[in-house]
Amino acid sequence: QVQLVESGGGLVQAGGSLTLSCAASGSISNINTMAWYRRGPGKQRELVAAITTDGATNYADSVKGRFTISRDNDKNTVYLQMNSLKFEDTAVYYCALAPSGGYAWDYWGQGTQVTVSS
């Protein structure tokens, strides 16, 4: 069993920055993919960014150049550095883990709220 625990959400003014963290615990394979998803008010859940164990990344067009995903494989932790935040970034952000790599998300965190005031 794998558990994902997110932290770092909060309230920030537009133009500000936040860093989210997600720590994974349990039986985790050496090759996996971790990602951040978000669900804004009245919106569908969308992929924000993903990163493999060898550091390959993928970003949604809406966050390219503003958000950076990174990970510490020794700590099984993934981070999302969010800069130049916009009102439309307001959402619940979820951490996800694909234990065999790829984008088959078997595990999800409980979510952390990010609110950007305009």
Planar angle of CA 14, 19, 20, nearest 5 degrees? 115
**Residue 1 has what pLDDT?**
87
Task: Please compute Rg for the chain using Cα positions.
Answer: 13
Strands (E), 27-76: 33-39, 46-52, 57-59, 67-72
State the alpha helices, DSSP H only, in 1-118. none
How far lies 39's CA from each of 32, 44, 56, 81, 113, in Å? Answer: 23, 6, 24, 17, 10
Distance of alpha carbon 102 from alpha carbon 34, whole angstroms: 9
Q: How far apart are the first and last CA of the chain?
A: 40
102 has a pLDDT exceeding 90: no
For 31-77, how does the pLDDT look when each residue is reduced to its tens digit (9 = 90+)?
Answer: 899 999 999 999 999 999 999 999 999 999 999 999 999 999 999 99
